[in-house]
Structure 1
Amino acid sequence: MSSFVVVGAGLAGSATAWHLARHGHDVTVLERAEPANPQGSSHGSARIFRYAYPDAFWTDLVVRARRGWTELEALAGEQLITPTGSLDHGRLRDPSGLAGVLKACGVEHELLTAGEAGERWAGMDFRTDVLWHPGAGVIDAERAVLAMVRLAVESGAVVHTGAVVSVLRREGSRWLVATEAGAEYRADHVVISAGGWLPDLVPQLPGALSGRLPGLTVRQENAYHFPYRDEKPWPTFIHKTGTMQVYSLPGGRDAAFRGQKLAEFNGGPSIGSAAAQTGQIDPVNRERVIAHVERNLPGLVPEPYAETTCLFTSTPHEDFVIDTADGVTVLSPCSGHGAKFAPLLGELAAASATGGVVPARFTLAHGVLR
């Protein structure tokens, strides 16, 4: 068996560590803060799990990922996805096209008229057909990360927190990974799952990876929690119009279960790297989202009672990057929709790192640069 250093213990990194360790490899995880910390992309209790994509490639992957979540929940002994169902509507969301994809992939769904949907969900205004699929839900990201870290440790992995990686260097047949505190780790293989910190590490990657990585955009996104007027939890939903795309889900522990979490997809500023995040809400974006609530969601009080920021790290085509060269694997699921795939991403990254096969569109030679 081989030795691995996994850099980053978010959803993707913890999943990779778990899959490598469960197959008998020697795994060391280096996390710059704590697993699922609020400076990354995997904190909190509210991430969307959904099947609806315009491309069957993604829906098929969600079906595979759900099997991974089911296994993880069984091994962890806790529910990590709360069923809520999901709605898709809006002029640019194409509910009918999405329904065709779900049908082809065998995913339960209904295509409703705006009137039919309005009768079921009186707190929302609908102006187009609406896709409903009951298999969607809300992922508790923090508990999922902690569960996968725990399972990795039970399989022999070692986790170091407060380990900020500063050096990645080839030494003969192995790799040296050093931290800002001066700790050094050596391994046969390194997996980089650093999220918004990946741009800072790119110069130290092997040329076969750094020379092919597409431009990465790191955004500091804004999310807001609005109270329910009737205190009844809603489904998750995506509403895409000609001016903005809003995604929403019940707020969970993040906001004391009192309301609905809303955000504009890619509505935050580009910051270059996670190191530049401020944690400050963009007031212009806040007003845009409040105006959307006032226009479209009469079942919510249009005054946020909680708000937060998070990081999206995106490729130009919103595909993931899972590729290996010269003993290093880059895992950057990102692009604002990676959370739902976490157990599967760990499986794929572990496969890539050990000579296995991953979808070609995730590789740098064939995928994200197309």
Structure 2
Amino acid sequence: MTNPTSSTEHVSYLVIGAGLSGAAAAWRLAQSGADVVVVERDVPASHLGSSHGSARIFRYAYADPFYVDLVVRARSSWDELESASGRRLITPSGSLDFGSVRDPRGLADALGTVGVPHELLSRTDAENRWPQLRFDTEVLWHADAGVIDAESAVHAMLDLACAAGAELRTGWEAASVRRASTGYTVTSTTGAAVTAGQVIVAAGGWLPALLADLDIPSGFRAALPSFEVRQENAFHFPYRAAEDGGATAADERTSWPTFIYKGDDIQMYSLPGGRDADFAGQKIAEYNGGRTIGSAREQDGVIDPQNRERVRGFVGEFVPGLETTPYAEATCLFTNVPRDDMIIDRAEGITILSPCSGQGAKFAPLLGELVYDLVAGSGRSGERFRADGQRFAEAAR
């Protein structure tokens, strides 16, 4: 790791952002033998971004077989990353899906199409197996899901990238990307500059604030979707003591699954909290329950008390194995686009990498492969991730 120099230098690829997406891109690009510089406004896996902490869900359950298959591909990339880094980055837990809108039976059909092992259970059978939970519909169970250590994954990919020759620069906030005679000049807020043949923008929730200063063609700018950034709220609820019908925290570290609930009025997700909250409880949050902000620059880290009460009410109704008062809480960032697809697209020498809508973590190491395919000219990342002018309906804003 070095400090930026005062003179302009030239590299083949410059990656903006050292979260999961940027780290993955840097790893795969450096692995190819290219010279790569990664610039990060703070530190890798910063708590001001979307890749911090030790608890993200890895799951296969999607209604669209395209995405189920993509998770299968991502699992192979995770296996490669764990082997290359010598670190366990996904802890097995299994995952449950229930709720009328979540449609467990439809998810089961999609998993079956791709060949992912799963079970479709009745409410009674599910409650007998997981007495710490309550269900209001059929329940999908797939055992191969787990919990991603996001922060460790970022460092693992950056370590491998740097071992392959990449350079990481922290405290280096990109302010603009302008066309130059040999590519693009990326200038920081302090005036430091690097010229790169190609630039990969993996800025997460900071992307909307940077877009105006990206020198991209007007047609591509018009085709970019609306990016919505939300400051989400996450809560950690303690496991009930064994004498209260629960189990000890040590037992629960390995016996609680992740789950996603989508009902008519509320959508929740939960996973073991990991070291983020001393392994003492479950992390539970309402999907897209936080307030909308213009970009990550506007986050204030203040918990929404009404959101807290909605989550507490859900815990009281559906999670009897937990106390109903959180012992830890934090905010995090979601960046959404209208169709919930990831955006991986390129105009001339600038690539936008935005794995949106709270789903990017599970695909992290695969994202680097998709970016490499795109910038190397093969185009195998596919049309599904192209920018195509998606807009949020004004009535829903």
Local SS of the residue matching 1:33: coil
1:124-135 → structure 2 map (5 Å cutoff): 124-135=133-144
Q: Report the more deviating stretch, 62-71 or 229-238.
A: 229-238
Q: Residue 154 of structure 1 aligns with which residue?
A: 163
5+ residue gaps, structure 2, are 1-10, 241-246, 393-397
1:270 matched to 2:292: yes
Local SS of the residue matching 2:13: strand
Q: Residue 283 of structure 1 aligns with which residue?
A: 305
Which of 195, 206, 227 in structure 2 is aligned with 1:216? 227
Q: Distance in 1 between matches of 2:129 and 2:291?
A: 36
Q: Distance in 1 between matches of 2:79 and 2:137?
A: 34
Which of 266, 270, 273 in structure 2 is aligned with 1:248? 270
Q: Distance in 1 between matches of 2:319 and 2:269?
A: 13
Q: Report the more deviating stretch, 320-329 or 143-152.
A: 320-329
1:29 matched to 2:38: yes
Which of 106, 116, 127 in structure 2 is aligned with 1:97? 106
Q: Which amino acid aligns with 1:294?
A: G
Q: Residue 106 of structure 1 aligns with which residue?
A: 115
- Give the deviation of 1:166 after TM superposition: 0.7
Q: Distance in 2 between matches of 1:9 and 1:287?
A: 34
5+ residue gaps, structure 1, are none
Q: Distance in 1 between matches of 2:118 and 2:104?
A: 11
Q: CA RMSD in A?
A: 1.4
- Give the deviation of 1:81 after TM superposition: 0.1
Q: Residue 239 of structure 2 aligns with which residue?
A: 228
Which of 152, 160, 169 in structure 2 is aligned with 1:143? 152
Q: Distance in 2 between matches of 1:226 and 1:298?
A: 11
- Give the deviation of 1:355 after TM superposition: 1.2
Q: Which amino acid aligns with 1:360?
A: E
- Give the deviation of 1:173 after TM superposition: 3.3
Q: Distance in 2 between matches of 1:273 and 1:77?
A: 35
Q: Is the 8 A contact 1:224 1:263 kept in 2?
A: yes
Q: Is the 8 A contact 1:321 1:368 kept in 2?
A: no
Q: Residue 346 of structure 2 aligns with which residue?
A: 324
Which of 300, 321, 324 in structure 2 is aligned with 1:299? 321
Q: Is the 8 A contact 2:226 2:390 kept in 1?
A: no
- Give the deviation of 1:172 after TM superposition: 1.8
* Identity of matched residues, %: 55
- Give the deviation of 1:299 after TM superposition: 0.6
- Give the deviation of 1:118 after TM superposition: 0.3
Which of 75, 81, 84 in structure 1 is aligned with 2:93? 84
Give the number of aligned pairs: 369
Per-residue CA deviation, residues 290-324 of structure 1 (Å, 9 max, x unaligned), is: 01101111110001000011100111111111011
1:341-356 → structure 2 map (5 Å cutoff): 341-356=363-378
Q: Report the more deviating stretch, 184-193 or 169-178.
A: 169-178
Would you identify which runs of 4 or more consecutive aligned residues in structure 1 move more than 3 Å? 367-370
Which of 360, 370, 379 in structure 2 is aligned with 1:338? 360
- Give the deviation of 1:349 after TM superposition: 1.2
Q: Is the 8 A contact 1:362 1:368 kept in 2?
A: no
Local SS of the residue matching 2:323: coil
1:15 matched to 2:18: no
Q: Residue 362 of structure 1 aligns with which residue?
A: 385
- Give the deviation of 1:122 after TM superposition: 0.3
Q: Which amino acid aligns with 1:166?
A: A
Q: Which amino acid aligns with 2:227?
A: L
- Give the deviation of 1:369 after TM superposition: 6.9
